[in-house]
Amino acid sequence: MALFYLLAGIVLLVVGGELLVRSSVGLSFRLKLSKLVIGMTVVSFATSAPELIVSVQAALSGHSDLALSNVIGSNIANIALVLGITVVIMPIIVNGEFFKMNWPMMMSVSVLLYVFLYINRDLNRWEGGVLFVMLLVFLWLIIKRAKNNALSDTEDIDESLKETTPLKIGIWLLLGAFALWYGSELLVDGATEIAQKMGVSERVIGVSMVALGTSIPELAASVIAALRQEKAISLGNLIGSNIFNISSVLGITALIQPIMVNDLVLLQRDIFWMLGIAFVLLPLVLKPKRNHIGRFEGLVLLAAYIGFIYLSFLKK
């Protein structure tokens, strides 16, 4: 039954997340927001909703390790698994924004998260607020840069949503919110029960099964785009997702309910995997072919992810 709860929770999160994105974009068009703002703020927040609701639900129900490990595991999966599979299928070219904005910001919030957790073994409301403010600054900077450079990665926004009626927007919003909240309850309950039955910690299930479940939308979209040889999902999108996971998901969760670190392996090993995989992106982009991530680099990332999951279950 626990596995059913876990899988049902993942399905509801995926469906709820899609409904929330559609309703949010439809509402944004109604409010006359530009595609640039919709793509970089509304869609980004909406696509982070599954991770956010799962982490809030876990923290409120006393499973703070699950809330934290979900984000750490999801960030590892986004780079090592999702990007790894994507570039094995279709190598990608890295633009200048990776060096100027995206990678430095991802490393900054990742290191800051470690510092906050290391100081008092928790993430309190003040620290959550700092992370969230950093996100707002990041959004302001990328919108400003995009406007100045006349650049916008919003080709994947569905223009047909401009015609969405207020009634349909309301229905999507309500159904999406219900699916996200109920799905998060099922996912947290299923994950904790599986952890108990397997004799592993909630942290192990969080960085593996739960993180993979909440990363499924990014994985599916990236693989489909790569198979079609499209560039809808770029390295910038995945790095942006990691920035949102820390600054938005953990930031907002900590503002609602401070997150305690109960399993010290999160600080002693897991977060270093997250930092290491984020850092190693730089040399992978620069070598052997500058501004390019190919199949070899993808295999390296996939091997790292397999190693991380293996060690997570090996050391209970």
28 or 73, which is more confident: 73
Lowest mean pLDDT across 70-84, 88-102, 200-214? 88-102
The pLDDT, as a whole number, for residue 38 is: 67
310 pLDDT band, cuts 50/70/90, is very high
The predicted pLDDT at position 232 comes to: 47
Task: Report the sign of the C-alpha dihedral through residues 63, 69, 71, 77, in that order.
Answer: negative
> Cα(56)–Cα(128) distance, rounded to whole angstroms?
13
Indicate if the pLDDT at residue 303 is higher than 80.
Answer: yes
Classify the C-alpha dihedral 29-33-35-37 as positive or negative: negative
Instruction: State mean pLDDT over 14-37.
Output: 78
Question: In the predicted model, what is the mean pLDDT of the chain?
Answer: 85
pLDDT for position 307? 96
Band (pLDDT 50/70/90 cuts) for residue 148 is low
Q: Residue 160 gets which letter from DSSP?
A: G
Check whether 146 has a pLDDT greater than 90. Answer: no
Rounded CA separation 281/82 (Å): 13
Mean of pLDDT values over 24-50:
72
252-283, pLDDT tens digit by residue? 999 999 999 999 999 999 999 999 999 999 88
- Cβ atoms of 92 and 222 within 8 Å: the answer is no
Q: Is the model's pLDDT at 155 over the cut of 60?
A: no
Angstrom distance (rounded) from CA 287 to CA 297: 9
Other CB atoms within 10 Å distance of the CB of residue 159:
10
CA distances from 195 to 35, 66, 126, 207, 269 (A): 43, 11, 31, 12, 19
Cβ–Cβ < 8 Å for 187, 54: yes
Domain spanning 36-146+198-314: which superfamily? Answer: NCX, central ion-binding region (1.20.1420.30)
**Contact 163/50 with Cβ under 8 angstroms?**
no
Rounded Cα gap, residues 71 and 34, in angstroms: 30
- What is residue 247's predicted lDDT score, i.e. its pLDDT? 95
**C-alpha closest to that of 191 among 74, 308, 67:** 67
Tell me the residue type at 59. Answer: A
The predicted model gives 43-65 an average pLDDT of 83
Q: What number is the average pLDDT over the span 4-9? A: 90
CA dihedral 286, 290, 293, 295 (to 10 degrees): -100
Q: Identify which of 21-30, 72-81, 86-95, 137-146 has the greatest average pLDDT.
A: 72-81
Binning pLDDT at 50, 70 and 90, where does residue 26 land? confident
pLDDT mean over 158-170: 80
pLDDT surpasses 50 at 131: yes
- The structural domains of the chain, with segments of one domain joined by +, span 36-146+198-314
Closest among 78, 132, 113, 124 to 247, alpha carbons compared: 132
User: Could you tell me which residues come within 8 angstroms of residue 228 by beta carbon, excluding any fewer than 6 positions away?
Assistant: none
**Once rounded to an integer, what is the mean pLDDT over residues 210-229?**
77
Least confident of 128-132, 175-179, 253-257: 175-179
Q: How far is CA 106 from CA 11, 92, 245, in A?
A: 28, 19, 10
b/e for 171-207, b at 16 or more Cβ within 10 A? ebbeebbebbebbbbbbbbbbbbbbeeeebbbbbbbb
Residue-by-residue DSSP string for 232-281: SS-HHHHHHHHHHIIIIIIHHHHHHSPEE---THIIIIIHHHHHHHHHHH
Question: Is omega for the bond preceding 50 within 30 degrees of 0, making it cis?
Answer: no
> What predicted TM-score, i.e. pTM, was given to this entire model?
0.85
Round to whole Å and give the CA distance between 211 and 54.
Answer: 10
What is the pLDDT confidence band of residue 315, given thresholds at 50, 70 and 90? Answer: low
Which helix (H) or strand (E) covers residue 47, if one does?
helix 43-47
